[in-house]
Amino acid sequence: MNLACHDDSEARFRWYVEGLSSVIGHADRHGPLRDYCTGLILPGERKSVEPMAARTAPARTAAQHQSLLHFVGVARWSDEAVLAKVRKVVLPAIEKHGPIEAWLIDDTSFPKQGRHSVGVHHQYCGELGKQANCQVAVSLSIANHSASLPVAYRLYLPKDWVEDAARRAKAGVPADVVFKTKPEIALEQIRQACEAGLPRGVALMDVAYGNDSRLRTGITALGLSYVAGIQSNTLMWPSGAGPKRRGKALNNTGRRDEPDLISAKELAHGLPKSAWRTISWREGSADWLSSRFARVRVGVGHNKLIPELLLQEWLLIEWPEDEPEPSKYWLSTLPPNISFRKLVDFAKLRWRIERAYQELKQEVGLGHFEGRGWRGFHHHATLSIAAYGFLIAERATIPPSGGRSTALFQTLGLPEGYRPRGSALAA
């Protein structure tokens, strides 16, 4: 598939979906695939099956509803194969603006009522900023400064769900799905991305993942560098110091019997004024974003996976001038000779995943799936990512001088009546 071979968005969309059809299985799935992706891209407040059926086949809405419902919730096609085809097409469009720089680890949540939708549980909901009934999915995205694309996506299944045979059966949870923490899911996704030969990037994660020393150690064992958010009470050895006893495994979360250990917060407060620099990292909507940072080399102990290994890493600290305390802390295994500005730039590149989730939810309806099953949840997410991938590829065809609108549809110039050729509505 060569998107550049076609002169307009409609033709490129048809070519894109035909490529996805090659890995979807039976020929009778090609039409529902085309229509589902069309429904996700068309303007509309709701991207669940019923309104998409009405938009893509107004003359036969009931039949279209059943067709799309079966395709997304019942049909046995491979999410992994479709995602692999999406990245094969979209990755070159992203790399037109530069090589892949980062692997973004994160999760996203979907508020839900009741208890029967797969994985729903009373847990922290990032969308609401509090504990609430919701589903949470863990993802891995590849990114540069221009764009990011999810390459792996999996629902987090709480222990209550894993141990409830009746609910598992009703929701169609596969028998081989066992309980894994979110960092464990993330490490599995990273391992699979390495095996698939994806272009390498620095692993970026917030404190929910970065504070897990097993995840950080696992990433290092795979040959990747990271910039990981950590809590202010994370313990470490200042540069030049180290553990007094090397006979026991070390842990960066609480060796109170090691007198040289110091928390990230204590270390930050002890730095001289000359250690702090104001650094800008990217242009915002009104002006360049900037803050005050310090960095210092520290020793961090890892246990279990690599016993008794003391790693020298960067501790990066953000302390805005108008704040009474430092606001953020990161550990990083980027090289000792990396520039200060580049280290900050990597730490702040995580904004790409936040932007991607916003667009996935607002523009292509990632959170609009109304079914309750495991297969439907993941199929809808895969198709949402596929639709988003097409929009990324299309956006890459627009010259910078053309300007960019907030809404992706306006960016692509898709009118309300837009229909890809060959869709159910083309006639």
- Give tens-digit pLDDT for 254-299: 444 555 789 999 999 999 999 999 999 987 666 789 999 999 999 9
Q: Two tokens at 46? A: 């709701």
Across 207-226, average pLDDT: 96
| Residue boundaries of the structural domains of the chain | 3-201+354-412, 207-348
Does the structure show a pLDDT above 50 at 192?
yes
Identify the weakest region by mean pLDDT among 42-56, 187-201, 246-260. 246-260
| Confidence band for 422, pLDDT divided at 50, 70 and 90 | very low
User: What pLDDT sits at residue 202?
Assistant: 98
Q: Residue holding tokens 């102990």? A: 301
How does pLDDT run across 120-164, given as a tens digit for each residue?
Answer: 999 999 889 999 999 999 999 999 999 999 999 999 999 999 999
Which DSSP helix (H) or strand (E) runs through 278?
strand 277-283
Residue 115 confidence (pLDDT): 84
The pair of structure tokens assigned to 127 is: 């969308």
Q: What is the pLDDT confidence band of residue 8, given thresholds at 50, 70 and 90?
A: confident
* Whole-number CA gyration radius for the chain: 23
Average pLDDT over residues 366-377: 96
| Average pLDDT of span 225-233 | 97
Rounded CA-CA distance 69/63 in Å is 10
Tokens found for residue 114:
């009741």
Mean pLDDT calculated for residue range 20-37:
95
Is 72 in a helix, a strand, or coil?
Answer: helix
Instruction: Return the axis-axis angle of helices 213-221 and 182-195, rounded to nearest 10°.
Output: 10
Is pLDDT of 168 > 70? yes
Higher pLDDT, 4 or 281: 281
Please report the pLDDT score of residue 399 as a whole number: 54
* pLDDT for the residue numbered 395: 84
**Average pLDDT over every residue of 187-214:** 97
Q: What is the pLDDT of residue 396?
A: 73
CB atoms within 10 A of CB 124: 14
Q: Which amino acid is at 331?
A: L
The CB-based long-range contact list for 64-68 (8 Å cut-off, 24+ gap) reads: 64/35, 64/424, 67/31, 67/32, 67/35, 68/32, 68/35, 68/36, 68/39
Strands 202-205, 121-125: parallel, antiparallel or unpaired by DSSP?
Answer: unpaired
What average pLDDT does range 297-318 have in this prediction? 73
pLDDT of residue 114: 83
Answer whether residue 303 shows pLDDT above 60: no
For the chain, give the mean pLDDT: 87
